[in-house]
Amino acid sequence: MRTVGVEEELLMVSARTGEVLALSPVVVSPPGPRKPGADDGQEFEKELQQEQVEFATDPLTGMGEIEDEIVQRRRAAATRAEEAGGTVAALATSPVPVRPSLDLGERHLWMAENFGLTAREQLTCGCHVHVAVESDDEGVAVLDRIRPWLSVLTAISGNSPFWQGEDSGYGSYRSRVWNRWPSAGPTEIFGSADRYHHHVESMIATGALRDDGMIYFDARLSARYPTVEVRVSDVCLQPSTTVAIAALVRALVETASGDWRAGRPPAPVSAGLLRLASWRAARSGLTGALVDPRSMREKPASDVLGALVTHVEGALKDSGDLERVRRTLERLTRGGTGAERQREFYRQHGSLEAVVRECARVTALAD
């Protein structure tokens, strides 16, 4: 079975006031001696802004193991943040107004200098899923074939309705902010690993990008691991949603690889149409229509979710993940995505600071 690794970015906040806090230096490199039983083995990384931190699970095959690691690392990050007077929240954007504090590393300073306001405003938290592939040839064949389905993952993960103190009207406003980067978004069909690498090299040669780490395609070959990396999801409020997305990504990779080996070509959908599907998914989430990847026509979200599960059903059965995915999708359809829960918290409490506090509580409890 293919291994899967998950990367999550978390927002650091005050559990008391809901204020967003620049705590990444403390969480990544805590000062002083560690407390007994502290998470010495947990690793966290800085991101572009000091208000966020990232962790990655180990590459694993069991979704239950991945969920356990996500819960453990979220709690470990919260513990470290608590030592500095804060906590963490699985929020893909900040509901309350914030002026992000840029990390002062060389790479991030280069990005700020070259991208200006795009970099300075880029306080967004995503979830990236890595799935093992045998070769770059297989990986690019997978990238070419999973393209139409990625927007559905954005809809499922939507957890960023608020931006700088306002309701954006979107389920995933993070994806709209993220797509300000010039290398972000859907791609055309590559056709081969050689064409993929040539395209990446040509993009870097323009001078607009520092290196291949700034290739922000919706899905790409990882520069560090023998994996396909899918990057379209918001960080999810609940770990169970993250795990369902990870299971779906693995199933998409497995299905696409099987199609490639059987000689079935990728669907000839343009990047322009995929960009529209991505916008629709970000706007509607699971509460309205989505673009059906099979026809590229508008369909009810429930129909599109059903089509996704049917498309990868064989792979989900083989991995033992079918019922887990179905349960999670039913819960999200019935009880709402992270975006809908955030809006419900706001209706209940009348305060965006309360939304942050409630989401921090859910994150800490893995509720």
Per-residue pLDDT of 207-223, as tens digits, reads 999 999 999 999 999 98
CB neighbour class for 211 (10 Å; exposed up to 12, middle 13-18, buried from 19): exposed
Domain limits, the chain: 4-365
pLDDT band at 364 (very low <50, low <70, confident <90, very high): confident
**In terms of residues, how long is the chain?**
367
This prediction has a pTM of 0.95
The CATH number of 4-365, from 3.40.50.80, 1.20.140.10, 3.40.50.970, 3.30.590.20, is 3.30.590.20
Q: What is the mean pLDDT of residues 11-29?
A: 92
265-277 as b/e, with b when 16 or more CB fall inside 10 Å? ebeebeeeebeeb
Q: What is the mean pLDDT of residues 263-276?
A: 98
Q: What is the mean pLDDT of residues 152-163?
A: 98
**Helix %, strand %, coil % for the chain, to 5?**
50, 15, 35
**Which pLDDT score, from 0 to 100, does residue 366 have?**
61
Yes or no: say if 162 and 352 are a contact pair by the CB < 8 Å rule. Answer: yes
**Which pLDDT score, from 0 to 100, does residue 42 have?**
57
Phi-psi region of 38 (alpha: psi -120 to 50; beta: other; left: phi over 0): beta
pLDDT band at 143 (very low <50, low <70, confident <90, very high): very high
At position 301, the amino acid (one-letter code) is A
Please write the tens of the pLDDT for every residue from 104-137.
Answer: 889 999 999 999 999 999 999 999 999 999 999 9
**Which pLDDT score, from 0 to 100, does residue 104 have?**
86
pLDDT band at 31 (very low <50, low <70, confident <90, very high): low
**Model confidence at 41: pLDDT above 50:** no
If you ran DSSP here, which 8-state letter would residue 102 be given? B
High-pLDDT (> 90) share of the chain, %: 91
Q: What is the mean pLDDT of residues 232-257?
A: 98
Please write the tens of the pLDDT for every residue from 174-208.
Answer: 999 999 999 999 999 999 999 999 999 999 999 99
How far is 325 from 63, CA to CA, in rounded Å?
10
Q: Return the minimum-mean-pLDDT range out of 38-42, 289-293, 310-314, 355-359.
A: 38-42
DSSP alpha helix (H) spans, the chain: 24-28, 63-82, 106-115, 117-120, 136-146, 150-157, 173-178, 193-205, 239-261, 271-284, 301-311, 313-319, 322-335, 338-349, 352-365
Q: What is the mean pLDDT of residues 18-25?
A: 93
DSSP string of 300-348, one letter each residue: EHHHHHHHHHHHTHHHHHHHT-HHHHHHHHHHHHHH--HHHHHHHHHHH
Neighbours of 75 (CB within 10 A): 17
Structure-token match 């099979």, residue found: 294
Q: What is the mean pLDDT of residues 341-353?
A: 97
**Which pLDDT score, from 0 to 100, does residue 365 have?**
78
Yes or no: say if 293 and 149 are a contact pair by the CB < 8 Å rule. Answer: yes
Yes or no: say if 71 and 77 are a contact pair by the CB < 8 Å rule. Answer: no
**Tokens at residue 355, please?**
């939304």
**Which pLDDT score, from 0 to 100, does residue 32 have?**
58
**Which pLDDT score, from 0 to 100, does residue 34 have?**
56
What is the chain's mean pLDDT, rounded? 95
